[in-house]
Amino acid sequence: MSRELHQEGGAWPSFTLDGEEVPFNPGDTILQAATRVGRYIPHLCWHPDFPAHGSCRLCSVKVNGKPAGACTAKASAGLDVESDTEELNGHRKTLLQMLFVEGNHFCPSCEKSGNCLLQATAYEMGMEGPHFEEFYPSRPVDASHPDILLDLNRCILCELCVRASRDVDGKNVFAIGGHGIRAHLLVNSASGRLADTAMALDDRAAHICPVGVILPKRQGFVTPIGQRRFDAKPVSEQVEGNPS
């Protein structure tokens, strides 16, 4: 994503987001433009360095009264975009609750706590509890790699590791298999073990996970709980362009 606005004569084109003007560059999506100027729209599967994926649906907004994904909907002059509404935030909270029960997310014991985008977004949306009956799926922990731990219990199927390994690292270490509730992250090796791939600790895929699936070994709790990214400020105050 271009980090700066590029003016081409006259004023920048803009749309309104919850009543406030948001300028944009030609080709921007609503989420790209909003992020650039520090306006928070909840999301999990979107990352500014990769094309939009549109799988988590947390960034769903209303554009001129109609539902749209902010990560894929193109910005256009004069659009009226609603995001921070009771209705939309209620839908987001429900989606988060479903994500929590479809995996095994035990935040108090997780090394990613305080640095986890799923946890931070749940706090931001005021999620009080899982609400739905938990599935407690049987998912493996792969500790075979000498430098990287793979805990599939926390996977939210954002595919960021798939895209990073394929498009940046050029290794295709990961893939998604199955359909619906049986969808799951796969390791592309004959054994299915991470140790039998070319993945390295300095790969982009090793550091892109927004939750606690891919973790470096021997670095647990180097940054203490209470001093981590989302311990300092909520996710809504850590948007690019936000002066706070």
- pLDDT reported for residue 53: 87
For the chain, the domains span: 14-84, 92-219
Q: State the pTM of this model.
A: 0.93
pLDDT value at 8 more than 70: no
CATH of domain 92-219: 3.30.70.20
Tell me the per-residue pLDDT of 17-63, one tens digit each, with 9 for 90 and over.
999 999 999 999 999 999 999 999 999 999 999 999 899 999 999 99
According to CATH, the topology of domain 14-84 is Ubiquitin-like (UB roll) (3.10.20)
* Percentage of residues in the chain having pLDDT higher than 90: 88
Structure-model confidence comparison of residues 9 and 96, the more confident one: 96
Give the bridge partners for 74, in sequence order: 29
Query: What is the average pLDDT score of the chain?
Result: 94
pLDDT value at 176 more than 60: yes
What is the spatial distance between Cα 17 and Cα 40, in angstroms, rounded to a whole number?
Answer: 10
Tell me the per-residue pLDDT of 77-90, one tens digit each, with 9 for 90 and over.
999 999 999 999 99
Tell me the per-residue pLDDT of 112-145, one tens digit each, with 9 for 90 and over.
999 999 999 999 999 998 889 999 999 999 999 9
The DSSP-derived string for the chain is --SS----SSSPPEEEETTEEEE--TT-BHHHHHHHTT-----SS--TTS-----S-TTEEEETTEEEETTTSBP-TT-EEE-S-HHHHHHHHHHHHHHHHHTT--GGG-TTTTT-HHHHHHHHTT--S--SPP------EE--SSSEEEEGGG-----HHHHHIIIIIS---EEEES-GGG-EEEE-SSS--GGGS---TTSGGGS--SSSSEEETT-TTSS-TTSSHHHHS-GGG-STT---
- pLDDT reported for residue 12: 85
- pLDDT reported for residue 191: 98
pLDDT value at 244 more than 50: no
